[in-house]
Structures are given as structure tokens and as C-alpha cells.
Amino acid sequence: MSQHETSFKAESQVPAETAKQLIANPEAAKPPAQKGKLRRLLLAGAAVAVLAGAAWYGWDYWTVGRFLVSTDDAYVKADNTTIAPKVSGYLSNVLVGDNEHVHADQVLARIDDRDFKVALDQAKADVAAAEAAVTSKRAQLDVQQSVIEAARATLAVDTAAQTFAAQENKRYTDLAGTGFGSVQNAQQAQSRYASAQAAIARDTANLASALRQVELLKAEIAQAVAAQERASALQHQAELNLGYTTITAPIDGVVGNRTLRTGQFVQAGTQLMSLVPATGAYVIANFKETQLTDVRKGQPVEIAVDMFPGQVVRGHVDSLAPASGQEFALLPPDNATGNFTKVVQRIPVKIALDATAVELRPGMSVIPTIATLSRPASASHTNSTPKVAVASFK
């Protein structure tokens, strides 16, 4: 092969390799001016997107966001009812289980009532005895009235006898003084007159004694009536105690924290279980004091529940606590000791919940957001108690 042929082959191979590279990397085939233009367009688009996002965020914050206050220090609450017996005794029957839904007046448990039935029978017997005592005293008073009438009649008879004896005594005394009568007859007349006077004194004393006996009997009747009323009160208390052996639910709710067992001895006032109300749940949110400048009663609230992500529960501000949490602490802080660090205080805010299908359990963590720019709801709305479902634990 000649030298001219070899150089021709080498020169013909260079364009072929360059063509392959251009096919594999088409960007390399573009001129530098087109690459710079594309880069500038991309940067401009990104800048416009950033500016648009910032503008939207700024507008949203200026018109809405700066009027929203939120906290994660908030929990669902309910006015739980503690179930405790009013009398002591052994539990004979427990009729509810853990987390069971109950209705008002439903029987929850029973205490052995045999001792209370005996006490009631004894109280009834005491009432009967007291009533008999009152009847006896009143009968004695009636008899005493008859005694008084008899004493007055006796006094009247003896008074007539005294009058006759006085007249007879005067007549015989006059006859004896003139000599027409004997001294003995005069003396006998004087004796009869003295006896009549003594009888009058006796009858007067008997009548006075009978009258005083009436006052005594009236006092005894009053005492017997008081004893009867006391016995009746004890009977009523015995009836109440017998009724207290049946423990019923005061409200509709769900059983929780149940500690009672059949055969267990319970003391009066000992907590046996708690009832979480079926309705009326609310939220207590502890907002920082710096967040409450524009918070007012009735303002709408959106509540995010940790247990139900993506769902929003709506409510409204019901009230603000009269003081911060530390004011109600068992040992309030004393800042007059010389060591002081300012800490932003938190004020509890009660949030009433509007009707919702979400079953809320007391103690749930929630995140409420208050729209402070909105006007408070009407008085008719804020004064009503919302009926919000509490978990039924079915």
C-alpha cells in the first residue's frame, strides 16, 4: 500500500468518530448560544415560581395567617361522674363490665341488703311503739278531763254543804245565845261547818292538782309526738339506706376505671367506677398569654385530632379561664425571693364542640386553631351546650 492511501484512510476515519459522538450527545451539537438561552429560561421560571409562592404565602399570612392562633397543648375533656356507694356493705352483684355503655337509672351493682331490711323492720316497730305511746298519752288526757269534771262537781256539792252548814251554825249559835237552844247543838253545828270548810279546801286542792296534771300530760304528749317523729325519720332513713343498696347510673355514659368485684366489701364514699358522659365533650386548650390578645368568646375554632388525621372538628370559644394555671397550683410560685426568670404563662381556654360524627374520648390530644379575625357567634349559639358524641366503646 502506498503512502497516499494510508493517509487517506486516517483522514476519512476522523469525521466518522465525530459523527458518532454527536449522535450520542445531541446537546453537544447545539451551538453555545442556545444552551445559554435555555439556562436563562429555566432560572427565570424558577425565580417566578419562588416569587409567586412567596407572594401567595405573604398574602395568606397577611389576610388570614396572622389572625390564627394555635397550640398543641390541648386535650379533650368531659365532666366525668364518680360512682360511689352511700352505704357500706358487701357487693352481692355487679351488673356492668369495663367500657360498657349504660343509660341513666340503669342498675350498676347491688349491695347485700339483708342487714338493711332488718334495720327497716326495727325502725317500723319503733314507729308503731311511738304511735302507741302518743295514743296512750292522749287517752290519759281524756281521762284527766273527766277527773277534772268530777273534781268540780265534788267542789260544787261540798260548797252547797258548806253553805247549809254555815246557816245551821248561825241558827244554833243564835239559839244557844238566847237560851232557846242547847250548847251541844251549837257545838255540833260548828263542827259540821268546819268539816264543810275543810271539804271545800280539799276539793279546791284536788281540782288544782287535776288541772296541773293536764299540763303535765300535754307535755308528755308533745314528748311522745317528738319521739314518734324521730322514729318516723329513722324509718325513712332506713328506707333510704335500703334503697342505696342498689347502685344506679345517674347519667348516660360509658363505664371506666371499674374497680368493684362481686363479694368485695365497700365503704360508703369509696370510688367504684367512673362514668364518662355520652355527650358534652369539650376541649381545654392552654394558649400562651401572648396569643390571647384578640381571642373572644364565640370565635370559630378548627380542631385537628391526632387520632383522626385529615379530619377537622369544628367548635367555638366558650370561655377563658379567670387565671393562669399556676394560680391554681397547690404551691404557687413566689417571685419575691430574688431569683426571677420570666416565663410566658398559659391561660386555659374552654372550646365547645359543634355537632360531629367523630367519637372523641376524653384525654385525646388535639390541635385547635382559633380564627381571631372572625366575629363571635351569636349569643344563642354560644350559650347552648353542644351535643358532641363521646366514644361509646362499642
Poorest-pLDDT segment among 7-21, 95-109, 189-203? 7-21
pLDDT bin (cut points 50, 70, 90) of residue 173 is: confident
- Among 251, 270, 249, 252, which Cα is nearest to 261's? 270
- Among 73, 72, 69, which Cα is nearest to 369's? 69
- Please indicate whether residue 360 or residue 168 has the higher confidence score (pLDDT): 360
Query: What is the pLDDT, as a whole number, of residue 9?
Result: 46
Contacts of 105 (CB under 8 A, 6+ apart): 248, 249
Query: What is the pLDDT, as a whole number, of residue 20?
Result: 52
Distance CA 27, CA 38 (A): 11
Domains of the chain are 65-111+256-394 (2.40.30.170), 114-244 (1.10.287.620)
Give the chain as a 3 state SS string.
Answer: CCHHHHHHHHHHHHHHHHHHHHHHCHHHHCCHHHHHHHHHHHHHHHHHHHHHHHHHHHHHHHHCHHHEEECCCEEEECCCEEECCCCCEEEEEECCCCCCEECCCCEEEEECCHHHHHHHHHHHHHHHHHHHHHHHHHHHHHHHHHHHHHHHHHHHHHHHHHHHHHHHHHHHHHHHHHCCCCHHHHHHHHHHHHHHHHHHHHHHHHHHHHHHHHHHHHHHHHHHHHHHHHHHHHHHHHHHHHHHCEEECCCCEEEECCCCCCCCEECCCCCCEEEEECCCCEEEEEEEHHHCCCCCCCCEEEEEECCCCCCEEEEEEEEECCCCHHHHCCCCCCCCCCCCCCCCCEEEEEEEECCCCCCECCCCEEEEEEECCCCCCCHHHHCCCCCCCECCCC
Poorest-pLDDT segment among 173-182, 277-286, 311-320? 173-182
Distance CA 33, CA 41 (A): 13
Query: What is the pLDDT, as a whole number, of residue 374?
Result: 67
Given a cut of 60, whether residue 393 has pLDDT beyond it is no
Share of the chain above pLDDT 90, in %: 46
pLDDT in tens, 312-362: 999 999 999 999 888 887 777 777 766 777 888 899 999 999 877 788 889
pLDDT in tens, 119-162: 999 999 999 999 999 999 999 988 988 888 888 888 888 788 88
pLDDT in tens, 33-61: 676 777 777 887 888 788 878 777 676 55
Query: What is the pLDDT, as a whole number, of residue 380?
Result: 41
